[in-house]
Amino acid sequence: MISLSIVALPLQDPILIITVMFLIILLSPMLLERIQVPGIAGLLIFGMLIGPHVFNIIPTNLEFTLFSTTGLLYLMFLAGLEIDLIDFLENKGKSLVLGLLSFIFPFVLGFAASYYLLNLGLLPSMLIGSMLSSHTLISYPIVSKAGIISTTIVTIIIGGTIIADVFALVSLQLISDYFSGLFNTAGILRMVVNFAGFG
């Protein structure tokens, strides 16, 4: 880890942390787009640089995790606002197939690589497979800027992403319950009921 000695790092003042975050959010896309690189790539690069493993400028504490979770939920909310519901319902079968494939292939590959190549246990391999099978709508800003967010194919992809995330979250919850000693018939039935109600 590289350490900067000018100020005490990581930053602890919430005002400084928010200032750094907003400067990066505003400036990094502008800089990267000048060289024909998507702005979202700049956010990823600068996020790695200011994180705990490089310059250690911003701590990954509970408050920062709350910011990141809020941003992810807001991104998914924006994607939901743009979806043509009629188009989505007409193509829900395609979204379901895409979602299942988007979940199964990364899960199987992640599990197989972890279990057979890395010699990890059954549950750790399942955990890695579940984590790899979850997706985010990180490309949404690029698609939205291109003006193709309302097309049928994008609607199918967004629907498939949501479905894949639901399956990934269910599998992660089952693994978490097993490690916590809550994996029992009652817990499984409760999850099935909740999942059916959600669907």
| pLDDT, tens only, 78-119 | 777 777 788 888 888 999 999 999 999 999 999 999 999 999
pLDDT of residue 108: 95
Domain that holds residue 154: 75-198
pLDDT of residue 83: 75
Q: What is the pTM of this model?
A: 0.65
pLDDT of residue 196: 58
Structure tokens at 94: 């395609």
110: in domain = yes
The answer to whether residues 55 and 79 belong to one domain is no
pLDDT of residue 109: 95
pLDDT of residue 7: 64
68: in domain = no
Residues of the chain under the 50 pLDDT cut: 1-5
pLDDT of residue 116: 94
pLDDT of residue 190: 66
154: in domain = yes
The answer to whether residues 40 and 96 belong to one domain is no
